[in-house]
Amino acid sequence: MRGRVRSRRTSDDDNDTRPPQVCTHHARHLVSRVAWCGRGLLALAIAGLGSQDAQIVRAAYLGMHSTTWFVIVPLSLAALSTGIIQSLGTTWGLFQHYWIVTKLLLTVLATIILLVHTQPIDRVAAVAAQTTLAAGDLRQLRIQLVGDACAALFVLLVTTTLSVYKPWGMTSYGLHKQEELSAAWRPAATRQVAPWGRYVLIGIIGLLLLILLLHLAGVGLHAH
């Protein structure tokens, strides 16, 4: 029994046994790929806001509309669902590690805000399809789209970094579950709870709730 438990725990901590330089290079590689994917939407928002060419402006906002509905929204929902399934289907668990809980909260909030912020994208794209947008037309909405794209890219980078480095150790629930699996044996490689981990998580939860409440109250959508 102890051998089986040791084997399962060792497989879970494979990422922790890699040399530090390998983890660093792997992290840089993943972050670069995420940044490459996420900056496409940001580039379209910037082109639509700053270009003086009417055709480029129109193409940028129509491209944002198509990319949002046919790429970003489906992939965000897929990321949320597959992440939950993967956590529940492995020994990592969904609520056993602080980094997983934080990543889950960030993904849920980002998905909700994404669905809310499809409204300004739809509006700007509809206007761009029907007429030529001058520099001052829908200015606030177009600036907001740039800010939204920056925020989305930031969330992608944060969640990717969490997946690579897995900080803050296990939650109290995770330690309790581990204790149930093996009360007599605790692997030396298992991470302990970081004393500040729960405070970081509480702060993140409070910030996410504040951002969500502001958006639902219409603070970020006053120009709709």
Summarised one tens digit per residue, pLDDT across range 63-107 is 999 999 998 888 888 888 888 888 888 888 889 998 899 889 888
Report whether pLDDT(189) > 50.
Answer: no
More confident residue, 199 or 90: 90
| Tokens read off for 69 | 């509905």
The predicted pLDDT at position 145 comes to 92
pLDDT tens-digit series, residues 30-65 = 555 555 556 788 899 999 999 989 999 999 999 999
151: left (phi over 0), alpha (psi -120 to 50) or beta: alpha
Report whether pLDDT(16) > 70.
Answer: no
The predicted pLDDT at position 91 comes to 82
The predicted pLDDT at position 197 comes to 62
The predicted pLDDT at position 4 comes to 44
The predicted pLDDT at position 110 comes to 85
Instruction: Kindly state the average pLDDT of the residues 10-19.
Output: 43
Task: Tell me the pLDDT of the chain averaged across its residues.
Answer: 76
Report whether pLDDT(206) > 60.
Answer: yes
List b or e across 71-103, with b for residues whose CB sees 16 or more CB atoms inside 10 angstroms: ebeeebeebeeebeeebeeeeebbebbbbbbbb
pTM of the model: 0.69
- Percent helix, strand, coil in the chain, to 5, is 80, 0, 20
| Tokens read off for 157 | 């980078």
pLDDT tens-digit series, residues 208-220 = 677 767 666 654 4
